[in-house]
């Protein structure tokens, strides 16, 4: 490619049966004014026209590389991408989403300005078929915040997913997504990453540099009760097995907060069986938290109260910005 590794960014894109959306994802990358890109398309065993489309893009632009694997899921595909990433920095992009045209210029500018290990941007949600164009960004008028990893996990300004972030590759090179998780594998990855205490810069709303398209059947748009329960059971086991349980406070806080949110979702949707499973998990987590005093006192009181009275979560969510 001929680019200095100091400038090179690896874009890791898991692809599975995405023939209808690949052009929306890839065209903005090829048209970006930031040229030093390595676009790693991990074909996770697609059975539609995706392989042919990817071959066409690779022939048109040498920055596009296609790596074919047996179907193993999005976590597996991202791990393959990480193993092949040659850039000094890397970012993750879902193959049915797209990046803002200024994503790379804004993110690299902030990285250089603050020497950050991670730069985190906001995203906007668009319904499938929405033709909204990108809103130009003035780099000189951005509202930014600076955190260490421990501070980041206390902030409502940072979300625990991997997309719309720029990572220093050396920070995450030896990390892997948990392939046993089929829901929230990026949450597990991000918490482990933040426990390494990286320096993080966030770009505040309304500046959105990533377009997330929601559609029927997309992984994060499904009420995946079983997957969510498996994720937070995994968190509970990690906390319970840890010798130093206080070092697991970020897992505990995410477990408590999310369990409460899922209880509210189950109640709203009449999913009584799933709601009972989340209540049991949240109650076990609450007792473990109380026994070892893992969460800070104020957070513990708040979450323990919401577990006992989940209806209060609606009010908490309404008056607490950024609560999900």
d(CA 50, CA 17): 6
Give exposure, 109-121, as e/b (b: 16+ Cβ within 10 Å).
Answer: ebbeeeebbbbbb
pLDDT of residue 322: 44
pLDDT of residue 204: 85
Length of the chain: 324
Residue 82 vs residue 148, higher pLDDT = 82
Residue 311 vs residue 185, higher pLDDT = 185
Q: Which of 51-55, 203-207, 299-303 has the highest mean pLDDT?
A: 51-55
User: What average pLDDT does the segment 73-87 reach?
Assistant: 97
pLDDT of residue 9: 98
Confidence of residue 220 (pLDDT cuts 50, 70, 90): very low
Q: What percent of the chain has pLDDT over 70?
A: 91
pLDDT of residue 321: 47
Tell me the sheet residues that pair with 39.
Answer: 11, 64
Tell me the sheet residues that pair with 205.
Answer: none
Say how many C-beta atoms besides its own lie within 10 A of residue 25's C-beta. Answer: 23
What lies within 8 Å, CB to CB, of 50 at 6+ separation is 15, 16, 17, 18, 19, 22, 43
User: What average pLDDT does the segment 252-262 reach?
Assistant: 89
The answer to which of 43-57, 179-193, 258-272, 307-321 has the lowest mean pLDDT is 307-321
Check pLDDT > 70 for residue 34.
yes
pLDDT of residue 131: 80
Confidence of residue 221 (pLDDT cuts 50, 70, 90): very low
Report the mean per-residue pLDDT for the chain. 89
Query: Alpha-carbon torsion 51, 53, 56, 58, what sign?
Result: negative
**pLDDT tens, residue by residue, 135-193:** 888 988 899 999 887 777 666 666 778 999 999 999 999 999 999 998 889 999 999 99
Nearest to 209 by CA among 91, 319, 79, 81: 91
CB–CB of 245/294 below 8 Å? Answer: yes
**pLDDT tens, residue by residue, 93-107:** 999 999 999 999 999
């Amino acid at each position: 490619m001929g680019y200095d590794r100091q400038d090179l960014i690896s874009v890791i894109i898991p692809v599975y049966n995405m023939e209808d959306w690949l052009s929306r994802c890839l065209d903005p990358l090829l048209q970006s004014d930031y040229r030093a890109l390595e676009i790693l398309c991990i074909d996770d065993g697609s059975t539609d026209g995706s392989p042919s489309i990817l071959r066409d893009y690779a022939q048109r632009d040498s920055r596009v590389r296609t790596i074919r694997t047996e179907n193993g899921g999005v976590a597996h595909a991202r791990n393959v991408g990480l193993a092949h990433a040659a850039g000094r920095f890397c970012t993750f992009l879902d193959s049915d989403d797209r990046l803002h045209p200024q994503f790379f210029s804004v993110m690299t500018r902030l990285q250089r300005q603050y020497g950050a290990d991670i730069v985190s941007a906001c995203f906007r949600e668009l319904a499938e078929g929405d033709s909204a164009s990108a809103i130009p960004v003035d780099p000189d008028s951005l509202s930014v915040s600076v955190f260490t990893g421990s501070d980041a996990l206390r902030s409502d300004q940072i979300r625990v997913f991997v997309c719309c972030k720029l990572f220093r590759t050396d920070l995450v090179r030896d990390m892997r997504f948990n392939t046993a998780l089929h829901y929230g594998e990026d949450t597990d990855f991000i918490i482990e990453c933040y426990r390494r205490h990286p320096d993080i810069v966030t770009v505040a709303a309304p500046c959105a540099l990533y377009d997330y398209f929601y559609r029927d059947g997309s992984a994060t748009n499904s009420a995946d009760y079983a997957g969510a329960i498996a994720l937070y059971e995994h968190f509970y086991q990690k906390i319970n097995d840890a010798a130093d349980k206080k070092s697991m406070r970020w897992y505990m806080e995410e477990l408590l907060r999310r369990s409460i949110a899922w209880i509210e979702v189950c109640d709203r949707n009449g999913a009584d069986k799933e709601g009972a499973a989340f209540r049991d998990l949240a109650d076990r987590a609450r007792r473990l938290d109380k026994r070892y005093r893992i969460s800070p006192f104020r957070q513990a009181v708040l979450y323990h109260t919401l577990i006992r009275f989940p209806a209060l979560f609606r009010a908490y969510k309404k008056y607490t910005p950024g609560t999900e």
